[in-house]
Structure 1
Amino acid sequence: MKIKAVVFDLYRTLIDDSGVEVQRENYIKESLYSLLEKNLYPVKHKEVVAAYQEMKEVMEDFHKRQVAFGAFSQVKYLAEKLHVNDHVLFHKMFDLYSMAVLHLSPKFMPHTLDALELLKDNGIKIGLISNTGITPGFALRLWLEERKVANLFHTMLFSDEVGVLKPNSLIFEIMAFCLGLAPESILFIGDTPTIDYEGALAAHFQAHLFKPEEENLYEIVAKYIGKV
């Protein structure tokens, strides 16, 4: 069936976070500690680090069950572990935590912008489905808006907002509904065999397993829409 939309995975497909992910997590831990210390909370640095690591393990356990454990739940877990019961301080923690991506940003994968522009120029709808971890969907939207590419996407779905993660077929079905298209007319491109490729096929999408070290995203898109 002719492709009427191309939907992308985010990490290691459209953006590369490998260079700053660890730095960002360290920034979050240090900033949380500084914030609590400034507000006279009797918390030790090692307690913040331990609480953060525990929270990540809880998040990963949720994700193994394909259930979202979003940024609000993550910060709530940290606040409870660190005995923070002040609502104003909680919101400061959440803002600092969720907006860290705007301070330590990923970069676009090679040929991402060219691929998106090619689709736009040929009237092909563009979608995004991303499993989120520490960075919530609304912050990723802001990051994409800052780089003036958010408007290229017809629909963006993030697991912390939808409540389920890829490869759950529901998130793909929601995308097809939002695009107003039959799943068979949508191509999904992602780099993970089970989560992206098999998940998309199970939802009756067309699918391409992207190999970022070997493939050119622009050339892949051009091939599928018949522009080579």
Structure 2
Amino acid sequence: MSTPSLSTKLAPPARPIASADGPIRAVTFDLWATLIEGHQRGSAARDVVRSNALTHALHRNGSLVDHQRVQEVMSLEATRWERVWRERWVTLRNPERVAWMLQQLELPALSAALTADVCRAFDESLWEAPPEPNPGAREALQSLKNMGVELAVISDTSYSTGKMLRKLLERYHLLEFFDCLTFSDEVGISKPNAEMFLATLRALRVGPAFAVHVGDNPFTDVFGANEAGLRSVAFGSPCDEATWNVEALSELPALLKPLVAARLSPLSR
């Protein structure tokens, strides 16, 4: 299946942004802890895969660094990554992360080939206890698709890239539902930056007033969507700033159906 990527040229907005909320034409989704399980399950096993990969590459490069020391530096880097994400609204890519770890270990840079090997292992660590879809995800997507709305994913990425996360969605037969997928490693910014949402909607040719975003994070999902002019659905834990709150994805179709126009009108596109 081919879906638009925001690393390619986007179409311009089809019309001016409406000043009032209109019927819902598009629903965008967060990925982690919304459509799929959160990072927690399997995270320890994935950490081991990544630290083993870096230790092995260092040994191949002639640096016999203790594995425990590598794990310590990776933990420091994870804290740094989250701080940059929170403060700058960007997610550092794997090559940048590896370079910083080597600086902390006071070691020379790896060759391009070894760096690529490490980054590939980081990316593929997703398959160590891969996260599964949250209950009701496929059914909710199918119902919304049957209503005629455009569907998209807007997700920040960490060690696993957008390319790998597409494969995960394909594994669970969820990729087929989406008209666009936006990943932070591919566009160079992350939620709650409004452009993550607006660029996705431009690709869908739907204005913010006709879109709603679903996600679990009050800051990146609810605040980000609201700032971009979308309506928001907080998934899991209630959020006062959200337009709506749901405890289960199975609630979405009934919630949104009255707000979805029966027929797509050119004037609302």
Same fold (TM over 0.5): yes
Answering whether residue 208 of structure 2 is matched by residue 187 of structure 1, we say: no
Answering whether residue 249 of structure 2 is matched by residue 217 of structure 1, we say: yes
CA offset at residue 35 of structure 1? 4.1
CA offset at residue 178 of structure 1? 1.0
CA 1:123 to 1:52, structure 2 compared with 1: closer, same or farther past 3 Å? same
Where 1:106 maps in the other structure, the secondary structure is coil
Q: In the alignment, which residue of structure 2 is the partner of 1:176? A: 201
CA contact (8 A) 1:169 1:199 kept: yes
Where 1:166 maps in the other structure, the secondary structure is coil
Q: CA RMSD in A?
A: 2.1
Once residues 190 and 182 of structure 2 are traced to their aligned partners in structure 1, the CA distance between those partners, rounded to angstroms, is 10
Answering whether residue 94 of structure 2 is matched by residue 71 of structure 1, we say: yes
CA contact (8 A) 1:115 1:221 kept: yes
Residues 58-99 of structure 1: per-residue CA shift (max 9 Å, x gap): 212211221221223212323444434222111111111111
Once residues 43 and 217 of structure 1 are traced to their aligned partners in structure 2, the CA distance between those partners, rounded to angstroms, is 46
Structure 1 or 2: more helix by fraction: 1
Q: In the alignment, which residue of structure 1 is the partner of 2:137? A: 112
Query: Which of 53, 61, 67 is equivalent to 1:31?
Result: 53
Query: Which of 110, 114, 131 is equivalent to 2:156?
Result: 131
Residues 3-42 of structure 1: per-residue CA shift (max 9 Å, x gap): 1111011111111132112221122112322343356432
Once residues 144 and 110 of structure 1 are traced to their aligned partners in structure 2, the CA distance between those partners, rounded to angstroms, is 14
Moved over 6 A (4+): none
Once residues 54 and 161 of structure 1 are traced to their aligned partners in structure 2, the CA distance between those partners, rounded to angstroms, is 24
Aligned residues: 227
CA contact (8 A) 2:26 2:210 kept: yes
Q: In the alignment, which residue of structure 1 is the partner of 2:83? A: 61
CA contact (8 A) 1:159 1:165 kept: yes
Structure of greater Rg = 2
Query: Which of 65, 68, 74 is equivalent to 1:43?
Result: 65
Q: Which runs of 5+ in 1 are unaligned?
A: none
Q: In the alignment, which residue of structure 1 is the partner of 2:180? A: 155
Q: Which residue type is aligned with residue 77 of structure 1?
A: W
Where 1:128 maps in the other structure, the secondary structure is strand
Q: In the alignment, which residue of structure 2 is the partner of 1:7? A: 28
